[in-house]
Structure 1
Amino acid sequence: MGLFGLLLALHILSSIAIIGPAFVMPIFRRSAKTADQLHFVLGMTTKLAIIPKIGGTMLVITGVWLMILTKMGLSQMWLNVSILLSLLMVVMIDGWVEPRMKKIAKILSESQGQGHVIPAEFGLLIRKIAPIETAAQLLMIGTLVLMVVKPF
């Protein structure tokens, strides 16, 4: 297989570790109908958050290593654009989505013991997060397309 093949396989697996949770977790959150379900989903999201972080680290390491092996550097426009889109995605998720999810978790923990009703604030906060998550998902798709197609 060689070093290049191994790095490429790790790079692809790392991207899956990032993309998978980013697409699935918002769907799980939006499907919660009771406070208990929502509490479970938020707990699961918190526990699974380590997977994209490890995947992201591995993605950067293997990507840089692949750039060095192929002597590509930053000479390819598709690569520069995909790096930019990835950075924007990270800023959106870590800068906008994560703080709002922490606020939702706090509201949910404060309302524990008030039955199975999801607090009204939750719906408002989720509606504010949904467009950001959708934009981040579109950035992921764009990055993936650039990495596979290499159009320019």
Structure 2
Amino acid sequence: MGLYGLLLFLHILASIAIIGPAFVMPVIRRSARTVGQLNFAFGMTAKLAIMPKIGGIVLILTGVWLMIIAKIGLSQMWLNVSILLSLLMVVMIDVWIEPRMKKIIKIISESQDQGNEIPAEFGLLIKKIVPIETAAQVLMIAILVLMVVKPF
């Protein structure tokens, strides 16, 4: 396995580190039925949040390095679209999802003393995040398809 193969392997591992938590954590959060389960789910989310951050850095570095080695630069349309979709996804996560999640975590931590019942406000806030999370997941799938298929 040469340098190109190693970089490609690391690039794929980094994409798994990003995609895995993005698909699993919303399912775990939505399945919680008590405040304790929600605290556990959000605690696990906080611990797993490092994976996409490290994966994102590795993904960018290996992607740029692969572009240099393959001498394709930004000449491929599939690559340009992938980069654009990736930037859109980052904005969605950082601007729309993260601030709302912080508000939800605050509500859950405040309601921990009030029993095991999940506050009604939680359901309303989660319903607002679900479409944004779904859109981010669809973008991830689109980026993955573009990277694998390289259609244009």
Residue of structure 1 in register with 2:93 after alignment = 93
Q: Where has structure 1 moved over 6 Å in runs of 4 or more?
A: none
Residue of structure 2 in register with 1:64 after alignment = 64
Q: % of aligned pairs identical?
A: 79
Residue of structure 2 in register with 1:110 after alignment = 110
Can you give the 5+ residue segments of structure 2 that lack an aligned partner in the other structure? none
- Amino acid paired to 2:108: L
Alignment RMSD: 0.5
The count of residues paired between Structure 1 and Structure 2 equals 152
Structure 1 CA distance for aligned equivalents of residues 24 and 111 of structure 2: 26
Residue of structure 2 in register with 1:16 after alignment = 16
1:137 to partner: Cα distance: 0.2
**TM-score, with normalisation over the residues of structure 1?**
0.99
**TM-score, with normalisation over the residues of structure 2?**
0.99
Where in structure 2 are the equivalents of 1:46-61 lying within 5 Å? 46-61=46-61
Structure 2 CA distance for aligned equivalents of residues 85 and 92 of structure 1: 10
1:76 to partner: Cα distance: 0.2
1:143 to partner: Cα distance: 0.2
Structure 2 CA distance for aligned equivalents of residues 78 and 47 of structure 1: 33
Residue of structure 2 in register with 1:35 after alignment = 35
1:112 to partner: Cα distance: 1.3
107-116 or 132-141: bigger deviation: 107-116
